[in-house]
Amino acid sequence: MPTPLSCCIIAKNEGDRIGDCIRAVQGLVSEVVVVDSGSTDDTIAVAEGLGARVVHHDWPGYGPQKRYSEDCAANDWILNLDADEIVTPELFSEIKALMASGPSLSAYRFKIKNVYPGQQKPRLWADYHNYVRLYDRRVVRFRESQVHDTVDTRSESVGQLKGAVMHYSARSYAHIRAKLDSYTNLQAKVLKKSAWKIWLRLPFEYPFVFIRYFFFRCHFTGGWDGLYSSHLAAEARTKRLLKILAAQKNADLTTR
């Protein structure tokens, strides 16, 4: 008998994208659980129209929201996705075969490949994250961290799947900048770094991050898209340092 699988998705105002995410796992999972943190568009209607169970939960941070979605699932095996991620047919078949035969491990990684705004597929040598997103919640869970949404596998062995997920992270470059600003605002509240170390890093942060993204993460294969994406990443990391300094200065002033 196949191992039953739940798909958990966290969402807010993803009405234009969540449908593709849900349709890509139909026939693979026995249920789709969407944890919505207050959408004002048609996210809920789209999800429910495709048979998903939608639960409202105010936003507590990335890790806690992912953990809440795990608790909402009817099954112990979880396929955890974001609303802007689409399972490829190759990964679909691989997971289906794994669930049919019974997983031998408690957690599995697969690649999540980034796609530029307006594009349909990843560029040559596209950058990706290789995350655990298929797992048994009785053994491993998402971390409680508000800013790092990763599964804590502790000492468990982790399998590697060959298939991938397409990550349509941003609707536009303005959307990328807004997301990066939001993320670095949150990081500035929780990250603690020595002020003198930040001042030492500040002049080098932009060029180092730009070089890392453009050359070492192979954004040079993306033409103008790759150039601008590298700029946005470097800009965001530089702004993050400034935001951390400002947050720590405000904290010092309030404690005096």
What are the distances in angstroms from CA 230 to CA 24, 64, 130, 193?
30, 30, 20, 24
Q: How confident is the model at residue 253 (pLDDT cuts 50, 70, 90)?
A: low
What are the distances in angstroms from CA 62 to CA 27, 67, 68, 80, 137?
27, 9, 10, 13, 17
The predicted pLDDT at position 195 comes to: 87
Q: What is the Cα Rg of the chain in Å?
A: 19
The predicted pLDDT at position 249 comes to: 80
The predicted pLDDT at position 256 comes to: 60
SS3 per residue for 153-177 = CCCCCCEEEEEEEEECCCCCHHHHH
The predicted pLDDT at position 194 comes to: 85
Q: How confident is the model at residue 186 (pLDDT cuts 50, 70, 90)?
A: confident
Number of helices followed by number of strands (H, E) in the chain:
7, 10
Interval 169-194 mean pLDDT:
87
Is 240 in contact with 187 (CB distance < 8 Å)?
A: yes
pTM for this predicted structure:
0.82
| For residue 106, pLDDT beyond 70 | yes
CA distance 126 to 52: 31
Interval 112-135 mean pLDDT:
94
| For residue 39, pLDDT beyond 80 | yes
Identify the weakest region by mean pLDDT among 69-73, 115-119, 185-189: 185-189
Average pLDDT of the chain to the nearest whole number: 94
Tokens of 83: 């609303």
